[in-house]
Structure 1
Amino acid sequence: MSALPEAYGAALERALVHATDWLTSVPTRPVRPQYDADQVASSLLPRLPDEPSDAAEVVDELAALAEPGLMAIQSGRFYGWVMGGTLPAAMAADWLVSAWDQNTGLRFATPAAAAIEESAAAWLLDLLHLPATADVGFTTGATTANFVGLAAGRQHLMDQAGWDLESLGLSGAPRITVFAGRERHAAVDLALRYLGLGACIPVDADKEGRILPDALATAMDQQPGPSLVVVQAGNLHSGAFDPMAEAVNLAHDRGAWVHVDGAFGLWAAVSPVLRERLAGVELADSWATDAQKTLNVPYDCGLAIVSSPEALRRAFSIHTSYFIATDAGLGDPFEKVPELSRRARGIPVWAALRQLGRNGVIAMVERLAANARALADGLSALPGAEVLNDVVFTQVSVSFGSDERTRRVTQRLMAEGAVWMSGSSWQGRDIVRISVSNWATDPDDVATSVEAVRRAMELEPEA
């Protein structure tokens, strides 16, 4: 009889104990890590031992070494870098994904993983009110989701120009000009660098970071030819949405492919209350967002959505004799992402959606926005605190007077650890940037967070 079950049993039991202990500690522990990376590193073995170790003992050792260096990202009082928590069904599904160990590239080889991801994709398109015929690729995150959407756009434009990108590459190819707002996320620039498209032409934006359609039209008219236009659903600092319908229509009138960077803000489309702020977003050609942010699934899960499956699959598909292709018309998973081998990261998405249901997804998204508004209201009531943005979704940008004082308040907040709010710079001012992304954040967390800011402000009187 195989010893395989016994080989895993003790280690998994210890992992469950440590995971449960961690989750139990999250609501009351300081949000900040107790050790920095160097302190954690000093506890690690400098040399790999020669002999094997017991698997369960390795799990115990790992948990003990990591615990003081863990950030409580799942806390309802963590507001840094637009990081969500993890829904229970999504976390448990992710454990199963590791246990099943399915290399999700071919429908033939891993039919359960492919079918479940296809189901999740159909649910997502319906929830987000995007074309039902679009392809969905499950990527590592929003950066690679942007890469995928822009790669499909590059393929489409090269095909239109009659250029064989696969055979000839970019050398000598028609120049593709990329237009994006001045307040785009740096991940867009990174994706363009990956694609060899060079720097974009920055287009002026308003005080909330929304691209100005007239400025976009002028810029495009000055640079005719094949073009990609990147619009934004959720500004990094204000949460604002570009004027979708106007921007998309004028870009399409000039023959452009329009890509939406919606890392966290695209999820507003699920809400009947919030959807009007993205009116026209469904008219674009590709969309990027994260499931690991607003949907609260474990990390390693972005969503690349492309209206033209042909352009997407031409960009990423390969053909080789050892692949066993299916003829279902849905395409193989590897044709929608820049990976041949990957974990079944769409399964936790399916589990999160199945746990919440349509109404639960809507309620969670609207609750995140309401918590951001409540935080903004509470902070605005503190003497010396100023909310700088129009809080339209889940981002709040706050100043505490001078840049120096704002930096000191930020440092006090992080040092105390009751909440985590990260610093940034927006429109020439130092700020505290608050990102409300965790399903677990509740009114008590909001009140506790406002009180933590009040304490930090009292310790840093105005200059």
Structure 2
Amino acid sequence: MTARSEAYDESLAKAHEHVRRWLSSLDDRPVGPRVTATELLDEVGGPLPEQGTAAAAVVDELAARADAGLMAIGSGRFFGWVMGGTLPAALGADWLVSGWDQNAGMRYSTPATAALEEVAGGWLLELLHLPRTADVGFVTGATMSNFTCLAAARHAVLAGAGWDVEDEGLSGAPKVHVLVGAERHDTIDLALRYLGLGRPTEVAADAEGRIRVEALAESLAAIPNGEPIVLCLQAGNVHSGAFDPFAAAVALAHERGAWVHVDGAFGLWAAASPGLSHLVEGMSGADSWTTDAHKTLNVPYDCGLAIVADSAAMRAAMGVHASYLVADTTGPGDPFEKVPELSRRARGIPVWAALRSLGRQGVVELVDGLAANAHAIAAGLSEVEGVEVLNEVLYTQVCVSFGSDERTREVTARLIADGTTWMSGSRWRDRDVLRISVSNWSTDERDVRLSVDAVRAAAGV
């Protein structure tokens, strides 16, 4: 009789074989997918089979049928969105997470995952120079991190106004004034919608997308004294990579008793680099912070980080209690009290592995390397005839135009069709742009050169 463990042998061997083949193809395969989702439906669909198929054969079939529809996000020439690749240690750890199949919600039942995540959270606070007493929750990504942090903010500012939102809900509650920069990321608005806080008040931004301090002062002055206020700032504009003036903005907001949240999905990591930390000066004085590990830190999807200085506010907003959930009384509380999910995979373990493999200096080199590659791409493109670099390249984002909107769209389409690199079209400052996000640990000088050459060819010069 076959042991249960042996039932996995063939399918895991096949998966290992296909993943190794996939990873080895990233240097040379076209970056973009070769078919559309609609075209793949016939290949992977049809009626549900009446009879089952052996596990190893299923893995073979899956790898073969999906291949043409895969985006090579792990390629060093993928710059389409702010998506990192996967560090070797993080990928290995992620495989262990799937194999162990632990529900990471409770300290008592899964102590290994809880301990690893607590250590990873502490290392992150140390690296990013955030308050060591802050709480760290591991969520799916920046959207859920913004939601989690702003839920804590909602709790705190309404409690300050004498209102218990968890007991009373929002009907009849004091109005929460939410101020945002004119160029904040759309996930801020989405999180506010989830939380029932409605449309925020926009504060004017400068040409790089940074919130204007004088405009913020005016917006704050227009709010009656004593009313709840939340200010959302940004570390890393999605087009320019710019950072809000944290020191001045945080001080102004705190004078009014506001909660300050920083959306730093990819930009928060600048705090880890001595050479880039000036971009986030004053940021640690905020009350909550969002970032992604599957962006700059290059761990597998999905892994967002919700960081809140006021642990009690975070747990009041997110926590739940039931008699069947056995509490661990030896530590700081359960992981599920800090995130929207009661059940989840152990997302923090690949973070622990990535940080353990890199060390402090490795993280610095990773972040500095991404910024250096962005500068190199911008410098290379600025030498291409007809190309205009539109932003001040301070971090990892580059936006370029090829003159008219029509020509920019045409060049972008040709570039994507070529497949050498993937850079996404977008719209910024009322212009169509080619947007380049440098996020992958494996991008090297060859990738930069090939990508710049591909843009030159697409532009016909």
> Tell me, what secondary structure is at the counterpart of 1:288?
strand
Judge which range, 39-48 or 149-158, deviates more: 39-48
Counterpart of 2:397? 395
Counterpart of 1:40? 40
Counterpart of 1:153? 153
Following TM superposition, by how much is the alpha carbon of 1:329 offset from its aligned partner in structure 2, in angstroms? 4.3
Counterpart of 1:264? 266
Per-residue CA distance 1:409-447 (angstroms, 9 max, x = gap):
000000001000000000011000000000000011101
Counterpart of 2:222? 222
Counterpart of 1:237? 239
Counterpart of 1:457? 459
Give the count of matched residue pairs.
459
Q: Does residue 435 of the first structure (1) align with residue 453 of the second (2)?
A: no
Counterpart of 1:125? 125
Counterpart of 1:406? 408
Per-residue CA distance 1:248-304 (angstroms, 9 max, x = gap):
010000110000000000000000000011100000000000000000000010000
Counterpart of 2:353? 351
Following TM superposition, by how much is the alpha carbon of 1:167 offset from its aligned partner in structure 2, in angstroms? 1.5
Q: Distance in 2 between matches of 1:44 and 1:150?
A: 40
The one-letter amino acid of 1:295's match is: L
Following TM superposition, by how much is the alpha carbon of 1:24 offset from its aligned partner in structure 2, in angstroms? 0.6
Counterpart of 1:59? 59
Counterpart of 1:196? 196
> Tell me, what secondary structure is at the counterpart of 1:458?
coil
Following TM superposition, by how much is the alpha carbon of 1:163 offset from its aligned partner in structure 2, in angstroms? 1.0
The one-letter amino acid of 1:321's match is: S
Contact 2:131–2:284 (8 Å) recurs in 1: yes
The one-letter amino acid of 1:380's match is: S
The one-letter amino acid of 2:31's match is: V
> Tell me, what secondary structure is at the counterpart of 2:459?
helix
The one-letter amino acid of 2:252's match is: L
Unaligned runs of 5+ in 2: none
The one-letter amino acid of 2:338's match is: K
> Tell me, what secondary structure is at the counterpart of 1:420?
coil
Q: Distance in 2 between matches of 1:196 and 1:42?
A: 41
Q: Distance in 1 between matches of 2:4 and 2:281?
A: 54
Judge which range, 42-51 or 438-447, deviates more: 42-51
- TM-score (normalised: structure 2): 0.99
The one-letter amino acid of 2:214's match is: D
Q: Distance in 2 between matches of 1:14 and 1:421?
A: 32
Counterpart of 2:179? 179
Counterpart of 2:6? 6
> Tell me, what secondary structure is at the counterpart of 1:326?
coil
Following TM superposition, by how much is the alpha carbon of 1:327 offset from its aligned partner in structure 2, in angstroms? 2.0
Q: Distance in 2 between matches of 1:292 and 1:400?
A: 31
Counterpart of 1:335? 337
Q: Distance in 1 between matches of 2:183 and 2:174?
A: 27
> Tell me, what secondary structure is at the counterpart of 2:243?
coil
The one-letter amino acid of 1:282's match is: S
Q: Distance in 1 between matches of 2:222 and 2:160?
A: 21
Q: Does residue 247 of the first structure (1) align with residue 249 of the second (2)?
A: yes
Q: Distance in 2 between matches of 1:128 and 1:331?
A: 23
> Tell me, what secondary structure is at the counterpart of 2:261?
strand
The one-letter amino acid of 1:201's match is: T
Following TM superposition, by how much is the alpha carbon of 1:383 offset from its aligned partner in structure 2, in angstroms? 1.1
Following TM superposition, by how much is the alpha carbon of 1:2 offset from its aligned partner in structure 2, in angstroms? 7.1
Q: Does residue 300 of the first structure (1) align with residue 302 of the second (2)?
A: yes
Q: Distance in 2 between matches of 1:210 and 1:227?
A: 20
The one-letter amino acid of 2:384's match is: L
Following TM superposition, by how much is the alpha carbon of 1:158 offset from its aligned partner in structure 2, in angstroms? 1.5
| Segments of 4+ moved more than 6 angstroms | none
Per-residue CA distance 1:208-241 (angstroms, 9 max, x = gap):
0000011011011112310100000000100000
